[in-house]
Amino acid sequence: MKRPRRPAWARSLNRSFATLGRQALKAGQAALLQAMATPAKPARRPAAKRGVAKRAAAKRVPTRPRAATAVGSWRPGLALGPGGARRWRLYSPPGLRTGERLPLLVLLHGCTQDADSFAASTRMNRLAAQQRFLVLYPEQDRLANAQGCWNWFDTDRGRAQAEADLVLQAIDQVCGLLGGDRQRVVLAGLSAGASLAALLAVRHPDRFSGVVMHSGIPPGTAHSTLTALRAMQGRRSPAAMAAMPATGWPALLVLHGSADGVVAPANGAAAAQAWATAAGALPGATRRVQRGQRHAMLVTDYKRRGRTVATLALVQGLAHAWSGGAASQPFSDPAGPDASRLVWAFAQKQFALNPSVLRAA
């Protein structure tokens, strides 16, 4: 039976969509090729400023920061997929040689932040220059979320999975073309970024050596905006968490402030417990750790057969902010222990434990 011919307006509309799709794909490919061909701009150190830490309640918005480092390169890129397009930035330390493969740390920012502000807050690029590793900063699009939050909770409609796939594509670009080592990739994020990092880790465990959640929410606890708000308050669904796949999750480090009024501290403990339950691990004795005058941490390791599956570090007095971050940035508290150094130390430990495991392509 002959199919009826579609109206002219429908054929025209389909052609328009197809043209837009081809243009978007070409734009993405051109952006990536340009990023590879053009010498990356040296990242600069921002002018020193005086100021106090700005917490979640801070109302003054700082001027747009530059990447917080004096040396190295700060390269743009673009990931494309069914979930749309997401920009990313890559910090590379100086002296990267052709064919050299460096560890890759993927940093996912929180709400209202972007790659530049998160780099300035964490000062991770400065550490990467000293220790020689790459730092990838995927960036949320404000058209996807007006507040710049990753849609980690929107699993019913698939937006969370689509954004996770875009992060994976950015990682593939960096590892395939820009010097990243697929065998040494660790995820870390703040707030909504931590929640998306956890979702990536449980859905693609073979891709990562470890994951760090700073002030985030465990995966599987929300599926809509309403349930996300409840989860932030600590009202989670144990049944939903139990339904998450639980095979071979990478090691977890949880950093959470005891004074966090945005994401309830109970979420940090719940994330560590979820990892422990999945691996059959048990908690050890909680110890108090403090360096100088910085906020103290209450640290609990969850182990199975001598292997640490998860570590929970509850930072005393820390609000919803990156611990030990730059005082000039919001969601950043210089009085806390240096989270960036804690993240890198955790990553190094995971790389040492798995030196020959080839992660999936």
Give yes or no for residue 213 having a pLDDT over 60: yes
* pLDDT of 315: 99
Residue 107 CA, distance from chain mean position: 4
> Which residues fall within 8 angstroms of residue 10, CB to CB, at 6 or more apart?
none
Cα–Cα distance between 347 and 260 in angstroms, integer? Answer: 25
Cα–Cα distance between 309 and 275 in angstroms, integer? Answer: 7
Q: How confident is the model at residue 233 (pLDDT cuts 50, 70, 90)?
A: very high
Sign of CA dihedral 222, 224, 225, 227: negative
Structure tokens at 166: 């875009």
* pLDDT of 241: 56
| Domain 67-353 = CATH 3.40.50.1820 | yes
* pLDDT of 239: 52
Q: How confident is the model at residue 220 (pLDDT cuts 50, 70, 90)?
A: confident
* pLDDT of 354: 74
φ/ψ (deg, to 5) at 110: -95, -175
Express each pLDDT in 91-140 by its tens digit: 999 999 999 999 999 999 999 999 999 999 999 999 999 999 999 999 99
Express each pLDDT in 290-332 by its tens digit: 999 999 999 999 999 999 999 999 999 999 999 999 999 999 9
Express each pLDDT in 17-33 by its tens digit: 344 344 444 444 444 44
One-letter amino acid for residue 104 of the chain: L
Tell me the pTM.
0.81
Determine what percent of the chain is predicted with pLDDT higher than 70: 76
Structure tokens at 302: 């969850």
Structure tokens at 64: 């747009």
* pLDDT of 46: 41
Mean pLDDT value of segment 194-222: 96
* pLDDT of 49: 39
Mean pLDDT value of segment 354-361: 44
Beta bridge partners of residue 307, listed in sequence order: 304
Give yes or no for residue 199 having a pLDDT over 90: yes
Mean pLDDT value of segment 198-205: 96
Express each pLDDT in 83-105 by its tens digit: 899 999 999 999 999 999 999 99
Closest of 266, 203, 251, 246 to residue 351, by C-alpha: 251
Mean pLDDT value of segment 202-218: 97
Q: How confident is the model at residue 276 (pLDDT cuts 50, 70, 90)?
A: very high
